[in-house]
Amino acid sequence: MAAERLVVKVGTNVLTQPNQALDYNVIHQIVAQIGDLRRRKHTVVLVTSGAAGAAQGMADLSRERKWLVRRQMMTSLGQPRLMALYADFFREYDLSVGQALLTRADLGDRERYLNIRNVIEGLLQHGVLPIINENDVVATEALTFGDNDYLAAAVAPMIGANRLFLLTTAEGFFLGGDPHASTEARLLPEVERITQEMWDSCETSLSAGGRGGMLSKLKAAEMATSFGIETHIAPGKLPDVVPRILDGEAIGTRFRVTTKRLKSYRQWLRFGALTSGRITVDEGAERALRNDKSLLPAGITAVVGSFSSGDIVEIFNKAEEKLGVGLIHFSAEELLALLRHKRRGSRSQPAIRKERMLLV
């Protein structure tokens, strides 16, 4: 089998016991899998949850009433311990590890995005295994990914991955809801296209310890496959699950690629990690955009949010339908001034150039 680039995401509930403490046996067998993948010449990036679980028993934080602050304190305590465990276990396989803690804002800024990509690529080229987690300590509610499924789906196109593995406690994606609650639920072994019935089947309630559930995994699969990356939802506690899938064994749910791989810049725009605002365009501007034209300020009818030149904004039509995202060349204040005073001077200059735009 040809060597592939893989992103392996491991959820909190895979790494922890029912009491939310870390499960060292599971962590060790996941490390063993990655060691085996590396011996097979596959390139691997690990996206891991579990920092809060690693903090169990280290300090009593119950007096902190704010949920977000308490969680940030727990991850601050647990992240060093989690990384120490990984470093110790990977040392058995002669692998060194490097840590990257990211927020949505890091991926929303083009310069930081490229720098992150260069660092991860550099680690891989030097034989170091990158281990990625969300930087919960500095992420606010507005800047958080919400779940590492989404983070993994953003990292996968960044490194040019062939496949994304979302390891969970479920056996795969079930149509009809939770198989533990419904006798009609059935495992989907393969998905060519994500349907409305699949969205309706997602459990929006979160399991203890985790933050995503199956809904976030389906969103991540939709994102990754739209980037040209095959995605698998598979049982993470099953020994050697990733190598077995690569060897052709039918485990979990396989999401086939839905489109050709986008170029790097358009991947970044498509991800839209952190949009700073939104604009609404008129019908004439919408027609121009769909005919591969740049967006002129004259076609903008409304501006929402505070953004600067060079920020990513969402583009909507008058019916409140999202048309896409783009890199804006005017600040919100400048556009509002143009709208208020009907200035013509710079209105002929594109607000968003067609090569800096990606429609949905």
Residues 330 and 188 occupy one common structural domain: no
Residues 102 and 130 occupy one common structural domain: yes
CA dist., res. 319 & res. 334, Å (int): 24
User: What is the structure's pLDDT at 273?
Assistant: 47
Residues 31 and 127 occupy one common structural domain: yes
Considering only CA atoms, which of 303, 351, 348 is closest in space to residue 327?
351
pLDDT along the chain (360 residues), means of 10: 91 86 92 96 94 79 77 84 94 95 79 89 96 78 65 89 94 85 86 89 50 78 87 96 96 87 65 71 91 90 86 87 85 87 62 81
CB 224 within 8 A of CB 164: yes
Residues 45 and 98 occupy one common structural domain: yes
249, 266, 283 — which closes off a domain?
266
CB 357 within 8 A of CB 295: yes
Residues 218 and 303 occupy one common structural domain: no
Residues 333 and 353 occupy one common structural domain: yes
237, 266, 295 — which closes off a domain?
266
Residues 262 and 312 occupy one common structural domain: no
Residues 71 and 185 occupy one common structural domain: yes
Domain that holds residue 87: 5-266
User: What is the structure's pLDDT at 210?
Assistant: 43
Sheet hosting strand 312-316, strand order edge to edge: 300-305, 277-281, 312-316, 322-327, 357-359
User: What is the structure's pLDDT at 347?
Assistant: 53
Number of domains in the chain: 2
CATH number of the domain enclosing 333? 2.30.130.10
Residues 291 and 182 occupy one common structural domain: no
Residues 163 and 297 occupy one common structural domain: no
Residues 229 and 280 occupy one common structural domain: no
CATH number of the domain enclosing 96? 3.40.1160.10
User: What is the structure's pLDDT at 308?
Assistant: 82
User: What is the structure's pLDDT at 264?
Assistant: 63
CB 232 within 8 A of CB 245: yes
Residues 217 and 91 occupy one common structural domain: yes
CA dist., res. 313 & res. 226, Å (int): 20
pTM comes to 0.79
β partners of residue 304: 278
211, 235, 266 — which closes off a domain?
266
Chain centroid offset of residue 360 CA = 18
